[in-house]
A and B are shown apart, each in its own frame.
Chain A
Amino acid sequence: MKTGLQKFTEKFVEGLLFISGSITSLAVILIVLFLFKEGWGLFNETPVEKGSVIALNKSNPVQQLSAAQVKNIFDRKITNWSEVGGNNDSILIFSVNDITNFYSEAELGDSLQFVPQRISELMGKKSGIIAFLPTEYLAKNFEGRILPLKKITLKGFLKGKEWFPTAQPAAQLGILPLILGTLWVSLFAILIALPFGLATAIYIAEIADNRVGKILKPVIELLAGIPSVVYGFFGLIVIVPLVQRTFNLPVGETGLSGALVLAIMALPTIITISEDAIRNTPRAMKEASLALGATHWQTIYKVIIPYSISGISAATILGIGRAMGETMAVLMVTGNAAIIPHSILEPMRTIPATIAAELGESAHGGLHYKALFALGCVLFVMTLVINLTVDLISARKKYSK
């Protein structure tokens, strides 16, 4: 007989278990919330760090500049205001250190107390001036005009070709090179890993006798168990010099080195999932094929592989997802140059590696910090799409059964 206490205990434990069961959902929701909360803040900001402004002469008709334009002006690639929609007037770049070029020490005061005033005066006098100033140097009745910069947009973030998050005066936050780097490295890794992974999966499931299979299983388990930082270390010491020597490159830290390391790391995923899919082929189909006179190999590639193709594609896509999210090994061997890659033999930088390398240096809540969280959001979305695709593929497979 159930007593009241027993019933209560049953219900209580069930409740407890339900709460535990909900924790992954809660975790995913919290991760999304925090990631996007910190990352989304980026799109309300201008690319100038707080505490600094960009100022012009009041007569200058230019109303707004983008981060790239500001960078080109301060790099002296744009030298005339007409290039950015202003008057035909040459650009005069000014920062606080330049003040001594215009005023004597006496005019600036003994303890430099007149500097803000002098800057203000100068801003009023020179029509082509553009100044990058800390806000504490703004005088009360500032004679220049503070220029609002274009806000960072999602489109600019995704399509921007330059990633200089700490550049002064305007941060360049374009992640296209990072996205491309991530894709190049992980796709190449799968290209290398897929033939080997598939061959091994077929070998274990169809060709090898049990004893050999029993040796291969722990090998694959171990490959999956080795920490990524150890792979990175191995890659740094063995694969990087190997790539450098083989292709006669100035540096061995290239996308190819990263792809090779990632290929080894992606193998266990590809092998185990493909093997499961191959083993799931109904015996009747195999035997029917053999009975018709097909050889074992013909059966494998005419019957078994077509049957298990959805599982194999799921394995491949999952492998790409793993490779895209891998951080440490890639960080250690790809060279981390944030430029748009043209060949796999160039240094590349992936999204996870960028976050890992830069988050430690960014000020909490600053522009750079937010940009890295936005990068995290992009990575999250990329892997989410991959996971959902895999779910879709495996769901369809069950349905067709």
Chain B
Amino acid sequence: MNPDPAKIHRRKQLSQRLVFALFTLMSAAIVLVLVVILGFIVVRGLPAINWGFLTKMPENGMTEGGIFPAIVGTFCLVLGSMIFAFPIGIMSGIYVNEYTNDGPVKRFMKTMTNNLAGIPSIVFGLFGMALFVNGLHFGDSILAGSLTLGLLVLPVVIRTTEESLKAIDNSFRIGSYALGATKLQTIRRVVLPMALPNIITGLILSIGRISGETAPILFTVAAYFLPKLPHSIFDQVMALPYHLYVISTSGTNIASSRKMAYGTALVLVLIVLALNLLANALRRYFGKKVKMN
């Protein structure tokens, strides 16, 4: 006798419902992990943060005072690597997407960008130390650190630009050419303005990456304890992620600097959170604007 088809159907439906419920739970678990991490750092970090914490020098073996020099240092590094990586990265993205055909040149450039993106951040640190710090004699400096971080973030900038340009329909380019515009004019007046919102959103997210990286700055710029502000690009600075590493693992008094560590972690998380929110807001804003046109 054949089994009852309705029964088979019900069994299939049941197993589907079970599996889907499991998948939903597993996805929820990931959200939970994020909530726990963020919640933990916010709850423990919030009491540590006040005006003095953000604007004072660290005091008493980094167990009291503030993290002002680390904030300034991270700001300098972000700015420095932006100045280096953004123009070159955007130009590189334009070249790959607008000037090369599908051929060996494009494939080679893309492979190299992928390879650069796949190199571990600590290797960037080694390279930055060998070339910028020792080879070019920049010493441990903002310059060396910014260049190292800039190289690290370069593939992100290039890919963002490329993806944004790729999303622009070809008819816009052809229309522009038909009106007699040159290639450069087309890129400048038509393609780039249309791609800019997406590029900017990507760049904002990459700033978060720069401000949180530790391994590349370990040997190129970061100072363990330096309670003064930098005067030139050849000065060492403290940086937020390195500061967090130092006070949570090797500070003079780990137990009493815990509060400072929570505060520093919260500041780092807030930076990333703010940049993500900004990027999402921009996405929504530009998305609406493009649709209206």
- Of the listed stretches A25-33, A70-78, A279-287, A303-311, name the one at the interface; the rest are far from the partner chain: A25-33
A14: B residues at CB distance < 8 A = 95, 99, 184
Chain A residues bordering chain B, tally (CB within 8 A): 83
Evaluate contact between A34 and B212: CB separation under 8 angstroms: no
- Of the listed stretches B62-70, B123-131, B192-200, name the one at the interface; the rest are far from the partner chain: B123-131
Provide the bound-state CA to CA distance between A328 and B20, in Å. Answer: 36
Q: B92 touches which one: A13, A24, A295 (CB < 8 A)?
A: A24
Provide the bound-state CA to CA distance between A218 and B280, in Å. Answer: 8
Q: Secondary structure at chain B's binding surface: helix, strand, loop or mixed?
A: helix
Question: Do A376 and B37 contact each other (CB < 8 Å), given the known contacts A222-B273, A332-B245?
Answer: no
Evaluate contact between A321 and B272: CB separation under 8 angstroms: no
- With both beta carbons as reference points, the residue of chain B lying nearest to A196 in the complex is identified as B26
Q: B269 touches which one: A34, A226, A355, A364 (CB < 8 A)?
A: A226
Chain B 248-279 against A: per-residue CB contact (8 Å), 1 yes, 0 no? 11000000000001000100110011011000
- With both beta carbons as reference points, the residue of chain A lying nearest to B208 in the complex is identified as A225
Evaluate contact between A295 and B13: CB separation under 8 angstroms: yes
**Minimal beta-carbon separation of A338 from chain B (angstroms):** 16
Question: Do A200 and B92 contact each other (CB < 8 Å), given the known contacts A230-B265, A230-B269, A234-B41?
Answer: no
Those of B86-143 within 8 Å (CB) of chain A:
87-89, 91-92, 94-96, 99-100, 108-109, 111-116, 118-127, 129-131, 134-135
Evaluate contact between A207 and B112: CB separation under 8 angstroms: no
Those of A187-225 within 8 Å (CB) of chain B:
195-196, 199-200, 202-204, 207-208, 215-216, 218-223, 225
Provide the bound-state CA to CA distance between A78 and B249, in Å. Answer: 39
- With both beta carbons as reference points, the residue of chain B lying nearest to A215 in the complex is identified as B31
Q: B130 touches which one: A27, A38, A379 (CB < 8 A)?
A: A38
**Minimal beta-carbon separation of A339 from chain B (angstroms):** 20
Provide the bound-state CA to CA distance between A2 and B115, in Å. Answer: 40
Evaluate contact between A327 and B122: CB separation under 8 angstroms: yes
Chain B residues bordering chain A, tally (CB within 8 A): 85
- Of the listed stretches A92-100, A119-127, A384-392, name the one at the interface; the rest are far from the partner chain: A384-392
Provide the bound-state CA to CA distance between A325 and B213, in Å. Answer: 13
- With both beta carbons as reference points, the residue of chain B lying nearest to A10 in the complex is identified as B184
Q: Secondary structure at chain A's binding surface: helix, strand, loop or mixed?
A: helix
Provide the bound-state CA to CA distance between A379 and B124, in Å. Answer: 12
Decide yes or no whether B33 CB sits under 8 A from chain A: yes
Provide the bound-state CA to CA distance between A267 and B116, in Å. Answer: 21
Decide yes or no whether B173 CB sits under 8 A from chain A: no
A236: B residues at CB distance < 8 A = 248-249
Provide the bound-state CA to CA distance between A204 and B12, in Å. Answer: 22
A267: B residues at CB distance < 8 A = 30
Decide yes or no whether A135 CB sits under 8 A from chain B: no
Those of B170-203 within 8 Å (CB) of chain A:
182-184
Decide yes or no whether A6 CB sits under 8 A from chain B: yes
A355: B residues at CB distance < 8 A = 122, 125-126
Question: Do A364 and B134 contact each other (CB < 8 Å), given the known contacts A23-B154, A225-B272?
Answer: yes
Evaluate contact between A384 and B118: CB separation under 8 angstroms: yes
Evaluate contact between B91 and A16: CB separation under 8 angstroms: yes
**Minimal beta-carbon separation of A167 from chain B (angstroms):** 22
- With both beta carbons as reference points, the residue of chain B lying nearest to A207 in the complex is identified as B20
Q: B116 touches which one: A17, A18, A27, A232 (CB < 8 A)?
A: A27
A34: B residues at CB distance < 8 A = 127, 130-131, 135
Question: Do A225 and B205 contact each other (CB < 8 Å), given the known contacts A208-B27, A234-B37?
Answer: yes
**Minimal beta-carbon separation of B168 from chain A (angstroms):** 17
Evaluate contact between A332 and B248: CB separation under 8 angstroms: yes
- With both beta carbons as reference points, the residue of chain A lying nearest to B243 in the complex is identified as A229
Question: Do A230 and B41 contact each other (CB < 8 Å), given the known contacts A30-B127, A295-B16?
Answer: yes
Provide the bound-state CA to CA distance between A289 and B160, in Å. Answer: 36
Provide the bound-state CA to CA distance between A327 and B131, in Å. Answer: 21
A38: B residues at CB distance < 8 A = 126, 130
Evaluate contact between A203 and B212: CB separation under 8 angstroms: no
Evaluate contact between B15 and A21: CB separation under 8 angstroms: no
Chain B 67-94 against A: per-residue CB contact (8 Å), 1 yes, 0 no? 0000000000000000000011101101
Q: A203 touches which one: B27, B87, B99 (CB < 8 A)?
A: B27
Decide yes or no whether A178 CB sits under 8 A from chain B: no
**Minimal beta-carbon separation of A29 from chain B (angstroms):** 9
Evaluate contact between A196 and B29: CB separation under 8 angstroms: yes
Decide yes or no whether A372 CB sits under 8 A from chain B: yes
Provide the bound-state CA to CA distance between A22 and B41, in Å. Answer: 42
A6: B residues at CB distance < 8 A = 182
Decide yes or no whether A43 CB sits under 8 A from chain B: no
A215: B residues at CB distance < 8 A = 31
Q: A233-B265, A391-B111 are in contact. List 20 more A-B contacts (CB 8 A).
A: A2-B182, A17-B91, A17-B92, A21-B92, A21-B95, A31-B127, A196-B26, A216-B31, A219-B34, A225-B209, A226-B272, A229-B212, A229-B241, A232-B248, A234-B40, A234-B265, A325-B120, A332-B245, A352-B122, A359-B126
22 A-B residue pairs with CB within 8 Å: A9-B184, A21-B96, A23-B88, A24-B109, A34-B127, A34-B135, A200-B27, A200-B30, A203-B23, A203-B26, A208-B27, A216-B27, A226-B37, A230-B268, A296-B20, A298-B16, A325-B119, A352-B120, A383-B119, A383-B120, A383-B123, A387-B115
Q: What 10 A-B pairs come out closest when comparing CB atoms? A: A227-B212, A325-B120, A21-B95, A20-B91, A297-B16, A17-B95, A199-B26, A387-B118, A327-B215, A25-B112
